[in-house]
Structure 1
Amino acid sequence: MNSDQVILDKINKIMQLVIVSSEFNTAYKGILLCAEKNKTYAQPFGCLLLAKGGLGKTTLCQTIVKKHPPTYRIEEGFKKSIVPVFYIEVPSPATVKSVASCMLNALHDPAPFSGSTAQMNHKLVALLKVCETRLIFMDEFHHLFDLQTSTKRMNTVVCNWIKTLVNETGICFCLVGLPEFESLLKIDSQLARRFSQTFKLNQLRVTKIDEPGTLHSFLHQISLNIEKYLHIKFEPSLTSQLLALQIYIATNGHHAYLMLLLENCLFQVMKKDNYTITIEEFIKAWDDGITSYVSKTKSNPFRLDMTSISSKIRNI
C-alpha cells in the first residue's frame, strides 16, 4: 500500500492546479489592465478584489505573482533586482511601519524592519522605482479598520499614507478582502477614487436543477485533472446531475470546501490502492465533518435522492 506521505504529495499536486472560471479570467485580465493603465495615465489606477473566504482571492493573486516572477538584470556592472509584482498581507494591527516593512521585505531589502517611519518610507519609494514594481497586492485590507468599535473606524493614518504612496509611485495597488468592507473603504472619497475598479469572485452556482451553472464547468475541469494525473475516475461521473447537486448542497458552492471534500475522497481510495471514487467516499467525507461549516443541510446530502435534493434546492 502507498505510504501516507506519498499519497499526500500526489494529492497536493492536484490541489495546486488552478481551476479557471469566467470570473477568475475577468478579474485576472482586469487587474493586469489596471497596472498597464498606470504606465500611461497621470491619474493612478487601483482596484479591489473582493470575495468571501475560500473563493479563490489568494489563488488569483498568487497566479498573477507567479506569472510575473522576480528577475535580475545587469546594469553598469551591477546586479539589479526586478520585482514587477508582489503580494503582502496587511498586518494586524496595521501601522505605517508594519505595512512598509512588509513591502520592504517583499522587495528583498536586507533590513526591512530598521529605521524611522520617514526613513522606511523614503527607502520604500526608492526601492519600488529601482525594482520597477508595477502591481502590489495588499490582502486582508480589513486590517485598515478598527474592528473593535461598533463604528468600524478607518485607520486614517495608514490609509492616508497609502494614498500618498500611490501618488508618489504611480503603482497599481490591488486591495484584497471581504465584500462587506468595500462600503467602509469608499467612505473616504479620495481613497475610493484611487480604487475605483472592483472585481468579485462568487460562490459556484447552479442555475436550475438541470443546469448546474458555474459549478458544472468547475467540476468538469477537476475531474479531468484527477483522471489525467492520478488515473482515478468517479462513478457516477463528478458532473452527473445528482452528484453535482449533492456537492453543491454539501459545500454551498465554496471552492475551498469543495476541494477539501475531494481531497478526503482521494485519500480514502488511494489508501486502498483503488482507482474509483464512489458515492461511499463522499458519504464518509461528509460524515467526517469536512464541509459542516458551510453545508446547506444537517443531514448527509450524499444519502439523498433527486427528489429530496430538488426540494432543498427550491427552498434555498
Structure 2
Amino acid sequence: METSIKEIVKTFKTKIVFHPQYRQACSQIQDAIEDTEALGEPVCALLCGPSGTGKSTLCNYIRNYYSGDSVIRREDGTYENLPAFYCEVPSPATVKGLITNMLRLLINETPNGTIEKLTHQLITCLKTAQVKIILLDEIQRLCFNTVSEKVRLDALQWIVSLLNGVGIPVILSGTELCRDIRREDAALENRYPYLAELSHFTYEAANDSELFATLRHLDHAMYEIANLEKGVHLNDPTIAAPLFVASRGNLKRMRLVINYALKTCLRRAGGRDLRISDFFSACQSIDLPNNLSVGNPFAMPYDDSLKLIMDYQESDDDEITVHP
C-alpha cells in the first residue's frame, strides 16, 4: 500500500464516534475514577459487551486521556510515571499468569514466585509507577473461558485483594458473559457500582438513530481525511442497509468493510469518488461471519436488505428473555 494511502487509512481508523451508548459507557468509567478521588477508596466500573462493540478502543481512549509525563523527577530521584495502566488478560488465563503479565509490562522482565509474593511485588510496582487507574481487558478469559467455578471465584477474590492493596479503581472489561460477575462476590459487588454496557447497533432508519448518526460522523471524517471529491455516503440508506446486513450491526466489522472500500477508492486512477462497487469489492474480499445474506450484501436490492434486517431484528426480539 502506498505510504500516503496507508497514512489516510490509519488516520481514519483512529476516529472514534461517541454515540450516546458509547458516551454513556465512557461517562460511567470516568464517574468511577472521580468517585475514587473524592472518597479516597476504590470505586470501580465493569465494561461489558459483545466482541466488536469497541470495549478495547474505549479502554485505550481512557488510558490515553489520563496519560501524563512518562517520568517524574523528585528530590530523591527520577521515577516512571504511569497514570493509567492497561493490560490484556493472557490466554490461557490464570491468576498467576495475569500477575506475571502485569509485572512483565511494568518491569520488562519475567518475575518468579508464589501468587502472594508476586501480588506484593505488583502492588509495590504499581505504587512506584504512580498508577492511578488499572484497565484489565478481556476479563472473560479469567472468569469464564475454560475455567471452573472455583477458579473464577479465586480470580474475583484476587481482584478484591488487589483493590484493597492499591486503593485505586480497577476497570474490568469483557464480553457480555461478564455482566453478572459482580453478583458472585459481595466484596466485589460493593466495589463495582458502575456497569457500562455496549451492544451492537440496531437498524433504525431515522437520521438521529445511533447507527445513522455514527455513520454520518464517520462519513464526514472519511471525506475530510481522504479529501474525497464526491461519491456515495455511509449514511445513505442504500449503503447503511447492506452494511448492516454484512455485519448485523457489529461496528468493528462495519468499519473493516468501510476501510477496505476507502482503500479501493484511493487506489483507483483518476478522481477520488467513492462508489458502491468499492463496498461490493470489500464484501467479496472480507470474511463476513455475521452476514445475513447468502451472497454479497451490496449485490442485493435495497428492499431485500430491509426485509432481511426486519426479519433478523424481529427474531432477535423473540429470543430476549425478561429476567425479574
Q: How does 1:200-239 map to 2 (within 5 A)?
A: 200-207=197-204, 209-211=205-207, 213-233=209-229, 235-239=231-235
Q: Which amino acid aligns with 2:18?
A: V
Partner residue of 1:197 out of 194, 197, 213 = 194
CA displacement at 1:310 relative to structure 2: 2.9
Q: Does the CA contact (< 8 Å) of 2:143 and 2:155 recur in 1?
A: no
**Partner residue, 1:254:** 250
Pair 1:54 & 2:52 matched:
yes
CA displacement at 1:154 relative to structure 2: 4.1
Pair 1:157 & 2:140 matched:
no
- 2:229 and 2:255 map into 1 onto residues whose CA distance is 16
> Counterpart of 2:16 in 1: which secondary structure?
coil
Q: Does the CA contact (< 8 Å) of 2:247 and 2:290 recur in 1?
A: yes
**Partner residue, 2:18:** 20
Q: Which amino acid aligns with 2:304?
A: S
The structure-2 alpha-carbon separation of the partners of 1:126 and 1:210, relative to structure 1 and needing over 3 Å to count, comes to closer
> Counterpart of 1:315 in 2: which secondary structure?
helix
Post-superposition CA distance 1:191-229 (Å, at most 9, x none): 22222311011212322x455721111111111112112
**Partner residue, 2:275:** 278
CA displacement at 1:93 relative to structure 2: 3.5
CA displacement at 1:122 relative to structure 2: 1.9
Pair 1:266 & 2:256 matched:
no
Q: Which amino acid aligns with 2:82?
A: V
**Partner residue, 1:102:** 101
Post-superposition CA distance 1:26-65 (Å, at most 9, x none): 2222212201211232553121111111110010011111
**Partner residue, 1:130:** 128
Q: Which runs of 5+ in 2 are unaligned?
A: 313-324
Q: Does the CA contact (< 8 Å) of 1:46 and 1:196 recur in 2?
A: yes
Q: Does the CA contact (< 8 Å) of 2:182 and 2:188 recur in 1?
A: yes
- 1:304 and 1:295 map into 2 onto residues whose CA distance is 12
Q: Which amino acid aligns with 1:311?
A: K
Q: Which amino acid aligns with 2:193?
A: S
Post-superposition CA distance 1:247-296 (Å, at most 9, x none): 112221111111110121122122223411111111222222x2521122
Q: Structure 1 length normalisation: TM-score? A: 0.88
- 2:310 and 2:236 map into 1 onto residues whose CA distance is 19
Q: Which amino acid aligns with 1:132?
A: Q
**Partner residue, 1:121:** 119
- 2:143 and 2:215 map into 1 onto residues whose CA distance is 37
Post-superposition CA distance 1:88-137 (Å, at most 9, x none): 1112333343222222234x325452444333222222232233322111
% identical equivalent positions: 21
The structure-2 alpha-carbon separation of the partners of 1:148 and 1:238, relative to structure 1 and needing over 3 Å to count, comes to closer
- 1:152 and 1:18 map into 2 onto residues whose CA distance is 37
Deviating 4+ runs (over 6 angstroms) = none
> Counterpart of 2:180 in 1: which secondary structure?
helix
> Counterpart of 1:186 in 2: which secondary structure?
helix
Q: Which amino acid aligns with 1:228?
A: E
- 1:218 and 1:234 map into 2 onto residues whose CA distance is 20
The structure-2 alpha-carbon separation of the partners of 1:92 and 1:311, relative to structure 1 and needing over 3 Å to count, comes to closer
- 1:116 and 1:187 map into 2 onto residues whose CA distance is 25
- 2:155 and 2:120 map into 1 onto residues whose CA distance is 16
Cα RMSD for the two superposed structures: 2.3
- 1:294 and 1:167 map into 2 onto residues whose CA distance is 42
The structure-2 alpha-carbon separation of the partners of 1:7 and 1:152, relative to structure 1 and needing over 3 Å to count, comes to farther
The structure-2 alpha-carbon separation of the partners of 1:141 and 1:308, relative to structure 1 and needing over 3 Å to count, comes to same
Which stretch has the larger CA shift, 48-57 or 70-79? 70-79
Q: Which amino acid aligns with 1:56?
A: G
Q: Does the CA contact (< 8 Å) of 2:153 and 2:185 recur in 1?
A: no
CA displacement at 1:170 relative to structure 2: 1.6
Q: Does the CA contact (< 8 Å) of 1:250 and 1:294 recur in 2?
A: yes
Q: How does 1:23-102 map to 2 (within 5 A)?
A: 23-41=21-39, 44-71=42-69, 72-102=71-101
Partner residue of 1:183 out of 180, 184, 203 = 180
Q: Matched residue pairs, number?
A: 310
Q: Which runs of 5+ in 1 are unaligned?
A: none
CA displacement at 1:169 relative to structure 2: 1.9
- 1:196 and 1:221 map into 2 onto residues whose CA distance is 32
- 1:159 and 1:52 map into 2 onto residues whose CA distance is 21
